[in-house]
Amino acid sequence: MSAVTVRVPAKVNLQLGVGPIRDDGYHDLVNVFHAVSLFDEVTAEPAERLAVEVRAAPHARVAVGGVPTGEDNLAARAARLVAARLGVETAVRLSIRKAIPVAGGMAGGSADAAAALVACARLWDDREEPALTRDDLMELGGDLGSDVPFAVLGGTAVGVGRGERLTPALTRGTFHWVFATADGGLSTPAVYGECDRLRLAAGETAAWPTVSEALMTALATGDAKALGAALFNDLEPAALSLRPSLRRTLDTGRELGAIGALVSGSGPTCAFLAETEEDAAGLADELDSAGVAEQIVRAHGPVPGATLL
């Protein structure tokens, strides 16, 4: 096989319930993931040794400067895992085309890892019944990062544990989103740490999170307004504490008619829900004019996970 390209979506967290910190430093979550139509592409082709190249996708304004191109790149680590499982050399060149913001709370690195898992598994084993199934790749993904299994799966799914144990959720129709990206990322561990710090300072003990019934019903019935009202993210106060300017971005989206607004995951990207595609287009234009974001991007969801092109 000469080259394999995989397209992989970004995510937004519709509900991110953060429980107490565990002994291993992770938090138990109820994490409702939703894959949206903002895609990175990863091409895997045979090479003498492992090499990684990262560029912005055509027409995407993504600052890729901070993305490692060596062994630390999550896609490179994914390739190594697949090679070890299949007992082959990691002789592959990975070309990553990024449209997902870097360190933006939309799981861009995790998406590239998921794409590399799927691409390398195919490159090195193109039998009709490959040794590694999708479930195997999702399990391998969990060793790379909590968000990686979902980027393999896609759609809408409830994640528990670190967020890596997934159950697909029933949804109806398509939801229309507008994303406001920010200049400069936020570090995921720093945001979780700030969440713990704020809770401690307020004398709060983290409650054990449960799945929001209102959210699941809104998804199953395709009710965008109800979904907008049910969105919530326990990391939002921490992201706002570390990046206070996000409050203005969220307020502006709400004033301009978004039916739901929240920080995506660990931020700093803000996500706005619109009732129709036309409403999303209008909201995107107005948010752009308001100048409260680095970039405004429209997307819809749910979409499939890592897919061979």
Ligand X SMILES: C[C@](O)(CO)[C@H](O)COP(=O)(O)OP(=O)(O)OC[C@H]1O[C@@H](n2ccc(N)nc2=O)[C@H](O)[C@@H]1O
Ligand Y SMILES: Nc1ncnc2c1ncn2[C@@H]1O[C@H](COP(=O)(O)OP(=O)(O)OP(=O)(O)O)[C@@H](O)[C@H]1O
Positions marked catalytic:
11, 147
Instruction: Please pick, from the candidates 17, 105, 209, 305, the single residue that binds ligand Y as defined by CB under 6 A.
Output: 105
Q: Which two tokens stand for residue 272?
A: 């706005």
Q: How far apart are CA 157 and CA 154, in angstroms?
A: 8
Q: For residues 286 and 278, is the Cβ–Cβ distance under 8 A? A: no
Residues 94-133 that bind ligand X (CB under 6 A): 107, 110
Residue 7 contacts residue 41 (beta carbons within 8 Å): yes
The C-alpha atoms of residue 127 and residue 229 are separated, in whole angstroms, by 47
In the complex with ligand X, the residue whose CB is nearer, 130 or 193, is 193
Residue 179 found at the interface with ligand X (CB under 6 A): no
Q: How far is the CB of 113 from ligand Y (least distance, A)?
A: 7
- Residue 232 interacts with, from ligand X, ligand Y, none (CB under 5-8 Å by kind): none
Contacts (CB under 6 A) with ligand Y, residues 222-261: none
d(CA 150, CA 297) in angstroms, rounded, equals 21
Residue 107 annotated as binding site: yes
What dihedral do alpha carbons 93, 99, 100, 102 form, nearest 10°? 70
110 labelled ligand-binding: yes
* Interaction partner, residue 302 (ligand X, ligand Y, none; CB < 5-8 Å by kind): none
Q: Which residues contact 27 (CB under 8 A, 6 or more apart)?
A: 18, 19, 20, 21, 162, 192, 195, 206
Residue in this structure with the two tokens 């994914």, named with its chain if needed: 78
Query: Which residue, 150 or 272, has its beta carbon nearer to ligand Y?
Result: 150
Full strand arrangement of the beta sheet holding 270-274: 260-263, 270-274, 175-181, 295-301
- What is the full DSSP assignment across 165-184? EEEE----S-EEEEEEE-SS
Say whether residue 306 binds ligand X (CB under 6 A): no
Q: With respect to ligand X, which residue has the nearer C-beta, 193 or 282?
A: 193
Q: Is 34 in the site for ligand X (CB under 6 A)?
A: no
Pick the closest to residue 219 from 260, 185, 180 (CA basis): 260
- Binding to ligand Y by CB under 6 A, coded x per residue (else -) over 51-80, reads ---------------xxx---xxxx-----
- Is 50 among the residues that bind ligand Y (CB under 6 A)? no
Residue 31 binds ligand X (CB under 6 A): yes
Q: Does 267 bind ligand X (CB under 6 A)?
A: no
Q: In the complex, which residues of this chain contact ligand Y (CB under 6 A)?
A: 66-68, 72-75, 96, 102-110, 112, 147, 185, 188, 265-266
Q: In the complex, which residues of this chain contact ligand X (CB under 6 A)?
A: 13, 16, 25-27, 29, 31, 107, 110, 145-147, 162-163, 188-189, 192, 265-266
Give the annotated binding-site residues for ATP. Answer: 101-111
